[in-house]
Amino acid sequence: MTEEFANVMDAANYPLPADTSDETTIPPLHLLAASVASLSATVEGHQQELAKLEAAMREVIQRLNALSVAPPASPPAPVQPTMPTHPVSAIKLPEPYDGEPNGCEGFLLQCDLFLTHYPQMPDASKVAAVITHLKGKALEWATAVWRGGEVTTSYNQFTALFRAVFDHPTDGKERSEKLLKLSQGTGTAAEYALQFRTLAAASGWNQQALTAVYRRGLREDVRGVLACRDQNLTLDALIDLSINLDYLLQERRRHRRTSPLPFYHSEPESEPMQVGSAHLTPQERRRRVEQGLCLYCGDHSHQVELCPKRPQPRVRRPQPANPHKILGRQAISSHQPWLRHSNCLSTPSHHQSPSTP
């Protein structure tokens, strides 16, 4: 472009001769036309470039204005560390198992609870984890099984074989007999219920049989209070009710021991709601017995033996005892020889004084 522009300027500054008629002194017209055309194209190209630069500048200015007006972008949230789905650290494998039959089920239960937090663990790894917590005879057996390699690839097969070998508690065949012979005795109903539930869990009996056996094993006083209750109670409801009644009976016995009544002769006082009195008709008594209500106040929460509204029997102080009734004729006459031959002991004024020899 610079060379062409110089050519045009040279042509413009070319001195014209005085005589223009001489063609040899005039610049070539085709050279002037070419220079002008080239200059026009160059200027047009510059204008296009300037237009592009102007458009680019406007875009840059718009972006700068947008960045200055828009609020600052909030920083990205920090990435939270991924927490484990299960609290694995809170559950550990049990203590090493030595092959004791009574501890087989408990050992396998603790292993299952631990391995449930590793669902992606292969069965072979689960079997290996169990074997690493064996010792004694159990480890000797597991060593032989591991070398065989038949059941070590399936955890379910391994535990089934494990139970077949070690799950033989000493009282396994006697659980049903123990359940039948179990009774409350002198203990509390809560202690009896705990022993009963432990044996019942492994008995396989249905709820009706367990309910009947549990009721039969209760102490006689608790059964007596339960006699008027609904016979269709579930096992759980019967156990809860028996524990509450046993507690009330214990409190009553404890109160009687700490607060004994005076040793006075007392006469039973008729109760307004007692059977046979005029205040409680046979129909009402039958209704209360059928519905399990208290025969004294009619409440359903207790029986007449535990009724808090039932008054205590009235206590009367003893009258001075008659020595004739206490000692008898022979005892009195032994202390008073002059009464031996008397026919009447009630009127001493009729007796005569002994005669002097």
CB 292 within 8 A of CB 232: no
> How far is the C-alpha of 176 from the C-alpha of 213, rounded, in Å?
11
- Listing DSSP states for 273-294 in one string gives TSTTSTTS-HHHHHHHHHHT--
Q: Which band of pLDDT confidence, cut at 50, 70 and 90, is reported for residue 218?
A: very high
Mean local confidence (pLDDT), 221-248: 86
Q: Which CATH number fits domain 175-258: 1.25.40, 1.10.1240, 2.30.30, 1.10.1200?
A: 1.10.1200
pLDDT at residue 217, as a whole number: 92
Q: With beta carbons less than 8 A apart as the criterion, state whether 135 and 96 touch.
A: yes
- Does residue 331 have a pLDDT over 50? no
Query: Nearest Cα to 319, choosing from 262, 269, 268, 266?
Result: 266
pLDDT at 312: 67
Q: Cβ distance 269 to 313 under 8 Å?
A: yes
Contact between 129 and 115 under an 8 Å Cβ cutoff? The reply is yes
Report whether pLDDT(261) > 80. no
Interior CA angle at 65 toward 64 and 67, to 5°? 65
Query: In angstroms, rounded to a whole number, what is the distance separating the alpha carbons of residues 187 and 324?
Result: 49
Distance CA 97, CA 109 (A): 12
Are the beta carbons of 324 and 345 closer than 8 angstroms?
yes
236: nearest Cα among 207, 195, 202, 209: 207
Work out the percent of the chain whose per-residue pLDDT is above 70. Answer: 64
Q: Taking the domains of the chain in order of start, what are their residue ranges? A: 2-68, 88-166, 175-258, 271-309
> What value does the mean pLDDT take over residues 322-347?
45
Question: Does residue 120 have a pLDDT over 60?
Answer: yes
Cβ neighbourhood burial of 304 (10 Å; 0-12, 13-18, 19+): buried
Cα–Cα distance for residue pair 69/63, rounded to 1 Å = 10
Confidence band of 353 (pLDDT split at 50, 70, 90): very low
DSSP character string of 214-250? HHHHS-HHHHHHHTTS-TT--HHHHHHHHHHHHHHHH
For residues 296 and 273, is the Cβ–Cβ distance under 8 A? yes
List, in sequence order, every beta strand (DSSP E) within the chain.
none
pTM of the model: 0.39
- The pLDDT of 195-212, averaged and rounded, is 85
Q: What is the mean pLDDT of residues 198-209?
A: 84
